[in-house]
């Protein structure tokens, strides 16, 4: 299901500063003004600020709680043995995620898994209190299997350089990844797995946000069904727009696998010489070894 969207261009003056979390919270509170339980999925590739956005949205959105899907990862040893990264459905407990979507949709509390970064598996649980708004944080949150349960989907995207920079900075500093692991995660998870399983959800999301290299989020498009209310809340003018996402897919482990180190070397050359990292340059890098 594709949603026709209005693409926001040349925002005019209005009574609201454009703070995405605040505007989206106001839109949700006005759109869903009854007592039903609402599931809000925040998806997108790794390294584009989904968790930070969810925390900010929760501060503006009364009676909400965040459900982190990073806690639903399958054991690290299993993923490693199958050469799976976080964006692949088989790297996640998809059936349990679906069960908890349904439980939250019914307004019930449940015990959710807690992923232990030391043991590499979800070997603990914690009580999750379902509130009126469940904000679901995770790159798999908008995957096709869960679409029927989601009331409102937000897709956050960025240019590929931002995603790569996050992997190299955050994952190496905060998660103690080696350089090689950070690069491998970017290539396999962001490009291959998310490109194959998650990127198309950008087309059915209600709102699409873009993350700049300084991690500032801006509105890029909004589904037509929300346009009137969005204009009321922002006082902004924007033009019509519809475009389908064509994900970049790279085969790093199939019958004709790409040698990822050669790709990395080429990406480093592009960066060092001041070039821009985008879909075209990545495809050029991949073509070097095809």
pLDDT digits (tens, 9 = 90+) for 227-254: 889 888 888 666 655 554 444 445 555 5
Dump pLDDT digits (tens) for 215-224: 889 888 889 8
Task: Report percent pLDDT > 90 for the chain.
Answer: 47
CB atoms within 10 A of CB 228: 9
- Given a cut of 50, is residue 128 above it in pLDDT? yes
CB atoms within 10 A of CB 178: 10
108-122, 131-145, 190-204: range with lowest mean pLDDT: 190-204
What is the structure's pLDDT at 282?
Answer: 57
Residue 114: left (phi > 0), alpha (psi -120 to 50), or beta? beta
What is the structure's pLDDT at 290?
Answer: 41
Contacts of 122 (CB under 8 A, 6+ apart): 71, 72, 73, 75, 93, 113, 114, 115, 116
**What stretches of 5-106 show up as alpha helix (H) in DSSP?**
20-31, 50-60, 76-82, 94-105
pTM: 0.82
- Given a cut of 90, is residue 97 above it in pLDDT? yes
Beta strands in the chain (DSSP E): 5-7, 38-43, 64-68, 110-116, 121-128, 133-137, 152-158, 207-211, 217-223, 239-241
What is the structure's pLDDT at 254?
Answer: 55
Contacts of 281 (CB under 8 A, 6+ apart): 267, 270, 275
Across 101-116, average pLDDT: 97
Dump pLDDT digits (tens) for 18-29: 889 999 999 999
What is the structure's pLDDT at 263?
Answer: 61
CB atoms within 10 A of CB 127: 8
- Given a cut of 90, is residue 42 above it in pLDDT? yes
Give the strand pairing for 207-211 and 152-158.
Answer: parallel
Across 85-113, average pLDDT: 97
Q: Are 243 and 23 in contact (CB under 8 A)?
A: no
- Given a cut of 50, is residue 285 above it in pLDDT? yes
What is the structure's pLDDT at 257?
Answer: 54
Residue 114 forms beta bridges with which residues? 124
- Tell me the CATH number of domain 5-249, given options 3.40.50.720, 3.40.50.300, 3.40.630.40, 2.30.30.360: 3.40.50.300
Using pLDDT thresholds of 50, 70 and 90, give the confidence band for residue 177.
confident
């Amino acid at each position: 299901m594709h949603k026709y969207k209005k693409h926001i261009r040349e925002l005019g003056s209005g009574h609201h500063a454009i703070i995405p979390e605040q505007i989206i919270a106001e839109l949700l509170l006005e759109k869903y003004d009854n007592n039903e339980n609402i599931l809000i999925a925040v998806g997108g590739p790794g390294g584009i600020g989904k968790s930070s956005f969810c925390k900010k949205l929760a501060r503006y959105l009364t009676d909400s709680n965040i459900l982190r899907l990073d806690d639903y990862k399958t054991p690290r040893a299993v993923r490693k043995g199958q050469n799976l990264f976080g964006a692949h459905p088989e790297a996640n407990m998809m059936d349990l995620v679906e069960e908890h979507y349904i439980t939250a949709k019914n307004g019930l509390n449940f015990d959710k898994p807690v992923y232990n970064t030391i043991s590499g598996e979800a070997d603990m649980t914690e009580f999750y209190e379902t509130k009126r708004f469940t904000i679901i944080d995770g790159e798999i949150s908008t995957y096709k299997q869960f679409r029927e349960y989601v009331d409102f989907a937000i897709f956050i995207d960025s240019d590929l350089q931002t995603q790569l920079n996050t992997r190299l900075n955050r994952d190496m500093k905060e998660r103690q990844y080696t350089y090689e692991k950070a690069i491998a995660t970017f290539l396999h998870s962001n490009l291959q797995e998310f490109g194959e399983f998650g990127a198309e959800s950008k087309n059915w999301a209600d709102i699409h946000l873009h993350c700049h290299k300084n991690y500032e989020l801006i509105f890029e498009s909004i589904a037509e069904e929300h346009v009137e209310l969005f204009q009321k809340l922002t006082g902004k003018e924007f033009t019509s727009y519809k475009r389908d996402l064509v994900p970049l897919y790279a085969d790093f482990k199939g019958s004709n696998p790409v040698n990822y180190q050669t790709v990395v070397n080429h990406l480093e050359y592009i960066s060092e010489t001041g070039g821009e990292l985008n879909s075209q340059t990545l495809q050029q890098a991949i073509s070097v070894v095809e």
